[in-house]
């Protein structure tokens, strides 16, 4: 395959799933798959990888699973010492918060209430 035509993305399925879980810890695999635009089977494999690596823990709540993200799990690659999941998730969520800020500003909310709402999430 020609190098220029090969498709690639900055965020892996692992990052997408971790981000989706950080936003919705009680999401079902079907919902995670739809949110991440990957197959449900890929979500199951990714969840197993993340749990095995210590980035994620599964807790049973009634008949459902709830996932707990270890935001302080260190990156595994030696070129990224000192970085952890928290920095990655903050970066991934930054765009969403900026989008919320713009939407609130456009609907007439004042800047102070906008900022206080964002810092509480």
Q: What is the CATH number of the domain that holds 38?
A: 1.10.10.10
pLDDT at 29 (0 to 100): 94
41, part of any domain: yes
- Quote the domain boundaries for residue 50: 9-70
111, part of any domain: no
56, part of any domain: yes
Q: Are 31 and 24 in contact (CB under 8 A)?
A: yes
pLDDT at 2 (0 to 100): 57
105, part of any domain: no
pLDDT at 99 (0 to 100): 53
Judged by average pLDDT, the poorest of 12-16, 62-66, 72-76, 94-98 is 94-98
For the chain, the domain total comes to: 1
- Of residues 14, 26, 7, the one with CA closest to residue 88: 14
Helices 85-106 & 13-23 angle (0-180, nearest 10): 60
121, part of any domain: no
120, part of any domain: no
51, part of any domain: yes
Place of tokens 């999401």: 27
Cβ neighbours of residue 64 closer than 8 Å, sequence gap 6 or more: 26, 28
Q: Report the DSSP beta bridge partners of residue 66.
A: 59
C-beta atoms surrounding 49 within 10 Å: 14
């Amino acid at each position: 395959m020609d190098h220029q035509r090969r498709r690639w993305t900055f965020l892996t399925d692992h990052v997408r799933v971790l981000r989706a879980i950080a936003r919705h810890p009680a999401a079902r695999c079907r919902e995670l798959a739809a949110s991440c635009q990957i197959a449900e089977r890929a979500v199951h494999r990714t969840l197993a990888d993340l749990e095995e690596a210590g980035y994620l823990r599964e807790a049973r709540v009634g008949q459902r699973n709830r996932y707990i993200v270890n935001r302080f799990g260190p990156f595994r690659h030696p070129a990224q010492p000192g970085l952890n999941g928290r920095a990655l998730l903050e970066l991934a969520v930054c765009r969403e918060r900026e989008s919320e800020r713009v939407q609130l500003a456009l609907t007439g909310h004042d800047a102070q209430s906008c900022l206080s709402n964002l810092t509480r999430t």
